[in-house]
Amino acid sequence: MKINILLYIVLIFTLFPTYSLAIPSLSGPGGVITIPSAYTKSGGLVAPVTYESGQSDTITSLNYRVSQSIELGLQKPSNGSTGINIKYQLSADQPGPSSPPATAFGFMDQKHNHTKSFYGVMSKNFESEDTTPFILHLGIMSEGSIGGHIRPIAGFEAPVSKQMRIVGEYNGSKRDINSGVVYNFTETMGTFMYLMDIESDGLNSDLVSGFTFNLSF
């Protein structure tokens, strides 16, 4: 049922005009769905509503790009204290297959699930005049401390238009496969819908949706 709803939303979204808007991930830093990217994002606010086993949880995230290389963020769950995240971009990339990827490392303190994580990630925009727009993200994440359990992370963004993109990711374990759609109504407001922890039948996946606002500060 959730798969059918997602496909219906994708069909409806393709009927509208086009924009592009970057949003924080559900983990806080600018990224794909839950994993961070190597890009620093300009000021943005996201208020996702997560539906799990018939219950809802609201998490509000606020990100601010202090400089071209530094991104700071706050994340407040509906029941819990405020977590922080910080990202430092070591190098930027240029669109096209021949340029090196962007690289970054950072820290996330997620109070709603009591997780502290360090990460390093590379992001590459393969868009050029001769190729279809496509962004790939690869990295590693260490839980608890720099020497904690290390897991691989990977994700992609495939724009369908300037306004809508399909996203997907792997967050390091068997069930941590997520996918969805990001859609921008205007240059400052957008929405998203994700299927989280996808299983083979797709029936036990969690549906996550929310809105995002670019505050342009």
Q: Quick one: pLDDT at residue 53? A: 45
Positions of the chain with pLDDT lower than 70, given as ranges: 1-23, 42-57, 110-115, 128-132, 144-148, 174-175, 199-204, 215-217
Tokens 């505050």, residue?
A: 215
Q: Which fold has domain 2-213?
A: Porin (2.40.160)
Q: Quick one: pLDDT at residue 16? A: 37
pTM across the whole model: 0.79
Q: Provide the residue ranges of all domains of the chain, joining segments of one domain with +.
A: 2-213
Q: Quick one: pLDDT at residue 139? A: 96
Residue 208 burial by Cβ neighbours in a 10 Å radius (0-12, 13-18, 19+): buried
Q: Quick one: pLDDT at residue 112? A: 55
What backbone torsions phi and psi does residue 201 show, to the nearest 5 degrees?
-90, -10
Q: Quick one: pLDDT at residue 3? A: 40
Q: Quick one: pLDDT at residue 14? A: 36
| Segment 103-133, tens digit of pLDDT | 999 998 765 556 678 999 999 988 766 656 7
Q: Quick one: pLDDT at residue 21? A: 42
